[in-house]
Amino acid sequence: MRIRDFRDDDTPEINLIPLIDVLLCLLIFFVVTTTFDARSVLKLELPRADGSPSEAQSKALSVLVNAQGRYFVGDREVLRTDLESLKQSLRDVAGDDRERAVLLRADARTPHQSVVTALDALGQLGFRRVAIATAPSPGGASAR
């Protein structure tokens, strides 16, 4: 009597479905846990100046003005460009803390009136520590 061996018929196979599931879970994990920088959304071309950066900039309230004159307070966009809307957004983000430093970042192509409006709103609300962000000049301090 001849007994057939069935072990030769089993061919090894690699099941890819669990691997795909694990990779998809990892992809979702990395997408969800990635922090997004609000400043990277806006492409600002800062005006040039010589000088050293301030160490208080890390805790400062950020006010951005893009080239079209639109305002961004912290990570929020101000929907209208009038003075009252800007003041309301500043009140919402800063609360009652008027001693907090404010970093005004305006694009080099921003209309001058937009920067003056931002400074006026900050002054009317009582902010006294206002710094204007600039980019280092191409030649640096040695170009003088």
| Average pLDDT along the chain | 80
At 143, the pLDDT band (50, 70, 90 cuts) reads: very low
Q: pLDDT tens digits, residue range 86-117? A: 899 988 888 888 888 899 998 888 888 999 99
User: Is pLDDT of 44 > 80?
Assistant: no
**Domains of the chain from N-terminus onward:** 38-142 (3.30.420.270)
Q: How many helices and strands, by DSSP H and E, does the chain display?
A: 3, 7
According to DSSP, residue 80 is labeled S
pTM: 0.57
**Selection from 140, 138, 133 nearest residue 42 by Cα:** 133
Q: Say which range, 20-24, 55-59, 83-87, 118-122, has the weakest mean pLDDT.
A: 55-59
